[in-house]
Amino acid sequence: MKTIQVGTLSAEPGAKVTGYLTPLQWYDGSYCRVPVAIINGAKPGPTLWIQCASHGNEYQGMGAVQRLIVETDPETLSGALILVPVLNIVAFNAQLRSSPVDGVDFNRSYPGAAPEKVMHILGHTEALVHAMVQEITANADYMIDTHDAGPLGQDTEIFYCTSPEEAVTRKTRAMAFATGNPVVREVVMSNPEDRKKYPGMLGTVINGIPNITVEVGGGLSLNEDYVHAIACQYRNVMRHLGMIGGEPENYVEPIFLNSTAMVRPRCGGILRMNIHVHQRVKKGEVLGTVSDLFGTEIEVLKSPIDGLIYAFRNNAVVCTGQWCVSLGGEAPRPEM
């Protein structure tokens, strides 16, 4: 094994190191500090980068990464883990989805830009994304980006984008199915026109490295069921990559989705949903209702497709156009 270097942090084979990347400075000259742990195994193997909280109020992955940091023994690890429990530290400290400095969504800003080339007038998020992408591409053989539904609802899926390179797509698919999450969703992005549909998302840009997005849970408190599920999925991927031994944990043969649809209301008001994740619904089936403040029903939300619900909003209120439900169309399992 080689020494792993991330920013100014370095870990020799058999070592576990924690510290901070300091890619940006604030108005007073102090540094934005992004926490990073490097666990460099004593035996050779791939480097797996796992990051969480690019949306600052999504906490479940952070809890799972903490478990890996505490529980992983570098002496028994083949390869290396680079673990980022909180990526968007500014949004995290404000308990917001996006940075209060510029309001820009981190996960719609890849690959970012060097400070002299940022587009946004305030520029913070683009510069931070750029700095992290340099570290990812310099170090990662495989990558997991971790999300949840935040304070708005519940989510449980593995999401990935196809790559222009078929070999990368096959490795990515194999990672996704190795997690054992009940739902795996593929978005085809084999050419530039496909990628334009999702500008700035990690999977559309970092497509030379096999990478998946874990989306499990939601809420503002750490939920031990979600944290445990994510930690099991991380370890299942590590087993798949030959980094640790043992049998897969909590493995479920995934349902494969190859299309997606979202439900967004035309009205704003009080939201009532009567659905659950992984529920199968028919086109036209009622998913929920929106009522005004006096209790009068003003809109019925219906499924636009025959499909499976993988995420939904359980917030009590909604505005016109805000996300309420995500559904996918089922398909046969693809070739690995």
Query: For residue 84, which of 218, 260, 202, 207 has the smallest C-alpha distance?
Result: 202
Q: Note the pLDDT of residue 4.
A: 97
Q: Would you say 277 and 156 are in contact if contact means Cβ atoms under 8 Å apart?
A: yes
pLDDT by residue for the chain (336 residues), tens only, comes to 799 999 999 999 999 999 999 999 988 999 999 999 999 999 999 999 999 999 999 999 999 999 999 999 999 999 999 999 999 999 999 999 999 999 999 999 999 999 899 988 888 899 999 999 999 999 999 999 999 999 999 999 999 999 889 999 999 999 999 999 999 999 887 667 776 777 788 887 888 999 999 999 999 999 999 999 999 999 999 999 999 999 999 999 999 999 999 999 999 999 999 999 999 999 999 999 999 999 999 999 999 999 999 999 999 999 999 999 999 999 999 987
For the record, the structure tokens of 97 come out as 């989805």
5 residue type, one letter: Q
Distances in whole angstroms, Cα of residue 329 to Cα of each of 9, 160, 201, 242, 254: 44, 15, 21, 32, 13
β partners of residue 286: 302
Distance CA 10, CA 17 (A): 7
pLDDT at 1: 72
Strand partners, 68: none
> Domains plus CATH for the chain?
4-253 (3.40.630.10), 261-330 (2.40.50.100)
Q: How many CB atoms lie within 10 A of CB 305?
A: 16
Both structure tokens of 206: 């970092």
Number of H helices and E strands in the chain, helices first, is: 7, 18
CA–CA dist 291, 270 (Å, integer)? 5
Q: CA of 283: how far to CAs of 67, 154, 157, 256, in Å?
A: 41, 21, 21, 19
Q: Is 114 helix (H, G, I), strand (E, B) or coil?
A: coil
Using alpha carbons only, give the angle 37, 150, 291 rounded to the nearest 5 degrees.
180
- Report which of 37, 66, 18 is spatially closest to residue 222, judged by C-alpha positions: 66
Looking at residue 200, its pLDDT comes to 83
The pLDDT assigned to 119 comes to: 86
- Could you check whether the bond before residue 192 is cis, i.e. omega within 30 degrees of 0? no
Q: Which of 55, 219, 81, 229 is nearest to 144 (CA)?
A: 81
Q: Which amino acid is at 265?
A: P
Instruction: Give Cβ neighbours of residue 202 (< 8 Å, ≥ 6 apart).
Output: 54, 107, 110, 145, 211, 213
CA-to-CA distance for 143 and 46, rounded, in angstroms?
A: 11
**Identity of the amino acid at 276:** H
